[in-house]
Amino acid sequence: MISRSTLSLLITATLATTTPLQAETLAEGIASAIKWGNASVSERYRYEYVDQEGIANFANASTLKSRFTWNSGTVAGIKGLFEVDNVTSIGDDRYNSTVNGRKTYPVVADPEATVVNQIALGYSAEKWNGLVGRQRIKQGNERFVGSAAWRQLEQTFDAAHVILVPDTRFTLDYAYSWRINTVFGPDNPNGQLDGDFHLLRTDYQPNGNHALAGFAYLLDYNQPATNSANTYGVEYTGNLLDRLKAHLSYARQSDSGAAPVDYSANYYLAELTASWHGYYLNPGYEVLGSDDGKKGFATPLASLHKFQGFADKFLTTPKQGIRDSYLTLGGKKYQWEFAVTWHDFNSDEGDLDLGHELDLIVSRPINNYLSALVKYAHYQGSHESAPLAKDTDKAWMMLTATF
């Protein structure tokens, strides 16, 4: 880590050895980057209601996220990125943000904070581009690495990130990260997690109907080391028929670094999507396995809210593992988008009944700048799931404006 004093000396030495012509060229380049840059502002208001068994109070979280993003112009292949987020509670914060001390309310992980969400320098060439600094990283469908953008504070990575595209059929996406900035914010002990994190995904699309991917995620956390693990996997997506698509995936995970549990576990996914006249039907079966009940397959860097139900009852995989059998009916008509999903959860080890969940979502753009979304989740547990997850109802209303 370079200290501020050392960095200042380096900058001073660089400026001292810069000729007037070089300084003029540098100034012109910076001026061009600023001139051809662009800025955007977005506002996202969200109301979230949570009624959770065992907690007397209901959560009523009314929050506003304000985001300012600036992208510089590109000069000699180099560009800059800066983005800042502010999350403010509107009215009384009658919810447990994990840092506001309201422990008699259900958790809604949207703490008040102002953070630099992204700050990075990038370079673009003909067949590759790179970015160094704080950034969002999304790979594939975000089942293993994502930005968790549903939460008001986003998950970002302090990382060196390169994407290589030697031809239109092949992409290699690799990032080395030394710090993960989580959705819990800078005031939470788990708001920043340090370690050595290697994130690799390759995609190969031989034609327009079929695509293959391979991935490797080597995670070595400093503290806590609970999720230190190496994961290797493969994925297939393709069109089986004109209106039928398949999505298959397999991965193997084992402990690494200072992980406290010695284990190995498997991941499986089989999913079909049939579409017709603007509607689709999506049955799927996903397994995050277990090693004899010692520890379950974990995906700590995923955009977790997208998977295993909107109620977020299994953000941490139970040590018994989990099997999710689900069915979604959705569609889009007259700018309205909707989806209804049913989940049936069971443990991988011992076949315990972990409950079921119903999810509903409807969204619609109001105009070119404003969109609206409403969402509902009902999770119903069982006596076997009681130690892991409690009955929960959640509802959301969200308005997003982008300028």
The C-alpha atoms of residue 204 and residue 394 are separated, in whole angstroms, by 39
Q: Identify the residue whose tokens are 């999770």.
A: 379
User: In percent, how much of the chain has pLDDT > 90?
Assistant: 89
Identify the domain containing residue 92 by its residue range. 39-402
250 and 292, same domain (yes or no): yes
State the total domains in the chain.
2
Q: Is residue 127 a contact partner of residue 119, using CB atoms and an 8 Å limit?
A: no
Rounded average pLDDT over 209-214: 97
pLDDT reported for residue 165:
97
User: Where does the pLDDT of residue 2 fall: very low under 50, low under 70, confident under 90, or very high at 90 and above?
Assistant: very low
101 and 27, same domain (yes or no): no
50 and 109, same domain (yes or no): yes
Q: Is residue 202 a contact partner of residue 214, using CB atoms and an 8 Å limit?
A: yes
13 and 48, same domain (yes or no): no
Instruction: Give me the CATH number covering residue 91.
Output: 2.40.160.10
Rounded average pLDDT over 62-85: 97
- Please check the confidence at residue 239 and state whether its pLDDT lies above 50: yes
The C-alpha atoms of residue 145 and residue 303 are separated, in whole angstroms, by 7
335 and 212, same domain (yes or no): yes
Q: Which residues pair with 356 in a beta bridge?
A: 344, 380
- pTM metric for this prediction: 0.91
82 and 204, same domain (yes or no): yes
- Please check the confidence at residue 4 and state whether its pLDDT lies above 90: no
Q: How many CA atoms lie within 13 A of 52 on its CB side?
A: 21
User: In percent, how much of the chain has pLDDT > 70?
Assistant: 92
pLDDT reported for residue 92:
85
23 and 69, same domain (yes or no): no
Q: Is residue 365 a contact partner of residue 335, using CB atoms and an 8 Å limit?
A: yes
190 and 272, same domain (yes or no): yes
220 and 367, same domain (yes or no): yes
97 and 1, same domain (yes or no): no
Q: Is residue 265 a contact partner of residue 338, using CB atoms and an 8 Å limit?
A: no
| pLDDT greater at residue 17 or residue 248 | 248
Rounded average pLDDT over 95-100: 97
Residue 363: partners with Cβ closer than 8 Å, 6 or more residues away: 336, 337, 338, 371, 372, 373, 374
Q: Please report the sign of the dihedral spanned by the C-alpha atoms of residue 211, residue 216, residue 221, residue 225.
A: positive
Rounded average pLDDT over 71-100: 95
**Number of continuous H segments (helices) and E segments (strands) in the chain:** 2, 18
270, 318, 319 from 350: Cα distances, Å: 21, 12, 11
